[in-house]
Amino acid sequence: MRLQKGDQNRDPRPTVRPRPRQGPCGCVGESPAAAGRPTPDSPPHQFETGGRAGRAVTGTLTWWGHSTCTWRDGGTTVLFDPVLTARLGHLRRVRGPVPPPDAAHADIILISHLHADHTHLPSLRLIPPSADLIAPAGSRRLLKPIAARGVKLREVQPGDLVEFGGLQICVLAADHDGRRHPGSPHRGPALGYLVEGSRRCWYPGDTGPELAVEEVAQVDVALVPVGGWGPTLGHDHLNAQQAAQAVRLIHPDHAVPVHWGTWWPIGLPERPDLIDRPAAAFAEHVARVAPTTSVHLLHHGQSVKL
């Protein structure tokens, strides 16, 4: 559908298998967190809701800048697309501090695609050797130096289901260029992920408007890309208005804008309208088209509990 403009009991290694036609991560079944809303006196950045079968469980999301997020569900810590440095090629971090060293600590790392602002080798060298790394099929050669440190690399493609640490992770397709860069020998599918444990967390990665929204349902929290890092935004990205339309179609309980407010090319005058504005514009659009979804505008390093 096109949008208009660390647990001791964790699995020793992830299981990757083709996703069943219908199953825990598909569109069938009840949401594990269908009940529960923030209480009226809860602060906007921190609240708890009831979990599956009424159990008192909590998921915590931390935004480190751009698309880098940590998702903690039960005893398992997931890290999305870590970029944890002050520089990224021709880009510099213009908003927020460099994430602290513990931002690299995770049980499993999910890589959406091979662009350098999502597959950042210097940052991946910071993750613990005990971690598992899930990355697009075709990435093994690029990630060989990371795997050589002892990190367990698993390549996946759309349709796969990863079982790890009490979580089920559905691998989805994204509408995006999966090459490292034009002409690069490193290429693979651009991916999104639906992570299900006590909550359902949807991260579409970088994506354009050709989203298979029918594959995503009953989401508790959506990490939605709303901008970019430079003066232009390619056709295979979502702008704030398109991102809000994705929320309208998926109607998650909560949405956190990502892929904004962090990087800018060295030597170019800063554009606050392109650096700072996308998240607020996204929240305004969501309030109009999907008013039942709560939008959380996080500062760098800030967390929200679900």
The per-residue pLDDT for range 193-221, each reduced to its tens digit, is: 999 999 999 999 887 677 777 778 789 99
Domain at 196, CATH number: 3.60.15.10
For residue 240, what are its two tokens?
A: 């704030």
* Candidate from 156-165, 168-177, 183-192, 279-288 with smallest mean pLDDT: 183-192
131 within a domain of the structure (yes/no): yes
**What is the rounded CA–CA span in Å between residue 229 and residue 157?**
26
Count, in order, helices (H) and strands (E) of the chain. 5, 18
Number of domain units in the chain: 1
- The side-by-side arrangement of strands in the sheet containing 160-164 is 15-18, 160-164, 167-173, 191-196, 200-203, 221-225, 254-258, 294-295
In a domain, 12, yes or no: no
Domain membership of residue 38 (yes or no) is no
In a domain, 139, yes or no: yes
The verdict on residue 121 lying in a domain is yes
Residue 202 placed within a domain: yes
Q: Is residue 162 in a domain?
A: yes
Q: Is the pLDDT of residue 41 over 60?
A: no
Using one digit for the tens of pLDDT, what is the confidence trace for 51-89? 333 434 579 999 999 999 999 998 999 999 999 999 998
**302 inside domain:** no
Q: Residue 273's domain spans which residues?
A: 59-297
